Chains A and B, each alone.
Chain A
């Protein structure tokens, strides 16, 4: 797990080449190529409404990927995000069944997500459980509670006004989910790249001990990053539940793989200290395009996961291969 921090940039003397080889530029090129490929196979994707449909493939996952990217940059990980969605969705479903109006349902969804994230944060920062182990535990706990409460039942007594969040459009084919994602991405990018909070997150990820002695409250930062990831999972639960109109305990099963894949694809180093929000956003778009394109070609969902897995390994290997090509045997 811990490995030498990898640098994304390949050191070469030529500046333009270096800029060209930035992770984000590479991702942007891949996105363009994939888009052109899909458009040549199926021109339907050029329709604004089809494009709008395609965004639903990644907006909910990408919303979680944003705070998770900060968490991974700070050298932690959370693989309970999909289980938090299930838990928050069940909580909302029960509240809806009890007859609560839409604003209460939103509060329940966000509150459940936040509370679950804070539990993860407590386990890691107060009880000092390694984050992968802690979130493996809470993943089975949260998903288990969802199963325990629901069994093989379905909750679907959501009020009509609740449907807007996952199905509504702000103007034309621009969905509420997409607007929310763009706003969240901008806010996260400003926090990470333009504020002292962001610099401290990088500092924690690059060298937690040095950050600690430099006066950064490492544990507090990590705790709130876990809380933010939980909150984003609660938000994703609202959008997904609203889009589907029902809650089953299997909701968002296996999403943790896809969310973590988006973050890693985006050039965030699992060893901490490296990554940008632009990369994560591009990776989310690439992920959405690829899965949407393959589903246009009638590839079954489980086979899609082969592509996601292969994409993850190939993309993560690129810097290592590039390094090897840049310095053949030092």
Chain B
């Protein structure tokens, strides 16, 4: 039995936490405004959508699958929410919120159903639905934008509501992290995600269906993406076809940096939250350096690649050396 202290030192989350704190300190030394309470809250608020999506993606990755369609799902549900708000301003926001989550869940369930019933690899299915959902945004909107003056004030305000000093979005992200961590650690279904991803053959012997478990993970990931669709459109007060284009890669990068293995069965929510915070701090610190937005993309690409390499090396060490690399 390892002692708690030993466990804490060994855990990958501890190393990552040091890394995140060091990044934060470096940013704070250069830009004192970054370390202020309001600066920290802004960073958290800004990272909320990434955190929500990353929790959903983690469930999928744990089952040895991948969901590339989350950003397209987000764009589609966000556009539908904006269009409904534009056409029927009287519909209360809470209804739109539930509607977005439900639409997102349906889109996610569609991914899961194809994967479950036909046994087609998830990377292929979600690559396809990514294109389909993104194309549908154009179809439902006719290519037009929905801008802030076409949305009701309530629609835009709710994400900015402050509760006990934190924005609603931050609370949602914190809730997702806490619930996700409890779900994965303390529920039978949560443990089954690890089982299915870690050893599908063993899962099948134990009577746990890989397909059904993946279907569940995809539905949750879709529901979260749908919720984020509303949040994204309300926060940035604009809906158009290319909303969050390419964001799925940032979500996957956050998960991988947080220690989730794309080979399934390995990863914890605490690490994912730290991975998101790391990307969030980088994203909020880079503009302060005075770099052009275009160079910021290059630098964040470099940092993501570097973080992913470091992580993959740790991943290998924690599994013992293997003759042949494990498969993605």
Q: Which A positions have Cβ atoms within 8 angstroms of B?
A: 1-4, 6, 75, 77, 123-125, 127-134, 136-145, 147-148, 150-152, 208-209, 212, 218, 249, 257, 260-261, 264, 270-271, 300, 302-306, 308-310, 312-313, 316-317, 320-321
18 examples of A-B residue contacts, CB within 8 angstroms: A1-B122, A133-B328, A140-B253, A140-B304, A141-B301, A144-B301, A147-B295, A209-B324, A218-B324, A261-B127, A300-B143, A302-B241, A303-B135, A306-B135, A306-B136, A309-B130, A312-B127, A313-B114
Query: Chain B nearest CB: distance from A230 CB in Å?
Result: 15
- Establish whether residues A303 and B138, one from each chain, have CB atoms under 8 Å apart when the complex forms: yes
The residues in B between 296 and 312 inclusive whose CB is less than 8 angstroms from any CB of A are 297-302, 304-305, 308-309, 312
Nearest B residue to A153 via CB reads B294
Query: Chain B nearest CB: distance from A87 CB in Å?
Result: 10
- Establish whether residues B120 and A313, one from each chain, have CB atoms under 8 Å apart when the complex forms: yes
Given the complex of chains A and B, what is the CA–CA distance between A264 and B294 in angstroms? Answer: 33
- Establish whether residues A130 and B300, one from each chain, have CB atoms under 8 Å apart when the complex forms: no
Nearest A residue to B326 via CB reads A130
Count chain B CB atoms within 10 A of each CB in A1, A131, A132, A260 and give the residue with the most: A1
For the complex, would chain A's binding face be called helix, strand, loop or mixed by DSSP majority?
helix
Given the complex of chains A and B, what is the CA–CA distance between A137 and B157 in angstroms? Answer: 35
Given the complex of chains A and B, what is the CA–CA distance between A141 and B326 in angstroms? Answer: 24
Which 7 A-B pairs have CB atoms at the shortest separation, nearest pair first?
A309-B131, A130-B328, A306-B135, A144-B298, A137-B305, A144-B301, A140-B301
Neighbour of B309 across the interface among A127, A145, A264, CB < 8 A: A127
- Establish whether residues A212 and B324, one from each chain, have CB atoms under 8 Å apart when the complex forms: yes
Nearest A residue to B131 via CB reads A309
Chain B residues, CB < 8 A from A309 = 127-132, 135
Chain B residues, CB < 8 A from A321 = 118
- Establish whether residues A209 and B323, one from each chain, have CB atoms under 8 Å apart when the complex forms: yes
Q: Which B positions have Cβ atoms within 8 angstroms of A?
A: 64-66, 114, 118-125, 127-132, 134-136, 138-139, 143, 241, 246, 249, 252-253, 256, 262-263, 292, 294-295, 297-302, 304-305, 308-309, 312-313, 316, 323-328
- Establish whether residues B130 and A141, one from each chain, have CB atoms under 8 Å apart when the complex forms: no
Given the complex of chains A and B, what is the CA–CA distance between A13 and B239 in angstroms? Answer: 56
Given the complex of chains A and B, what is the CA–CA distance between A3 and B63 in angstroms? Answer: 12
15 additional contacts (CB under 8 A) given A1-B328, A306-B131:
A3-B119, A124-B325, A130-B328, A134-B309, A137-B305, A144-B299, A148-B295, A208-B327, A212-B323, A261-B127, A308-B128, A310-B132, A312-B127, A316-B120, A316-B121
Neighbour of A1 across the interface among B121, B130, B139, B301, CB < 8 A: B121
Nearest A residue to B302 via CB reads A141
- Establish whether residues B297 and A320, one from each chain, have CB atoms under 8 Å apart when the complex forms: no
- Establish whether residues A270 and B324, one from each chain, have CB atoms under 8 Å apart when the complex forms: no
- Establish whether residues A317 and B121, one from each chain, have CB atoms under 8 Å apart when the complex forms: no
- Establish whether residues B120 and A302, one from each chain, have CB atoms under 8 Å apart when the complex forms: no
- Establish whether residues B323 and A306, one from each chain, have CB atoms under 8 Å apart when the complex forms: no
Chain A residues, CB < 8 A from B125 = 313, 316
Chain B residues, CB < 8 A from A151 = 292, 294
- Establish whether residues A270 and B123, one from each chain, have CB atoms under 8 Å apart when the complex forms: yes
Given the complex of chains A and B, what is the CA–CA distance between A316 and B117 in angstroms? Answer: 13
- Establish whether residues A1 and B123, one from each chain, have CB atoms under 8 Å apart when the complex forms: yes
Given the complex of chains A and B, what is the CA–CA distance between A134 and B249 in angstroms? Answer: 11
- Establish whether residues B128 and A2, one from each chain, have CB atoms under 8 Å apart when the complex forms: no
- Establish whether residues A128 and B124, one from each chain, have CB atoms under 8 Å apart when the complex forms: no
Given the complex of chains A and B, what is the CA–CA distance between A241 and B138 in angstroms? Answer: 28
Chain A residues, CB < 8 A from B136 = 306
Count chain B CB atoms within 10 A of each CB in A4, A218, A260, A317 and give the residue with the most: A317
Nearest B residue to A308 via CB reads B131
Query: Chain B nearest CB: distance from A2 CB in Å?
Result: 5
Chain A residues, CB < 8 A from B301 = 137-145
Given the complex of chains A and B, what is the CA–CA distance between A107 and B153 in angstroms? Answer: 56
Query: Chain B nearest CB: distance from A100 CB in Å?
Result: 24
Count chain B CB atoms within 10 A of each CB in A123, A138, A140, A308 and give the residue with the most: A140
- Establish whether residues B253 and A136, one from each chain, have CB atoms under 8 Å apart when the complex forms: yes
Nearest A residue to B246 via CB reads A140
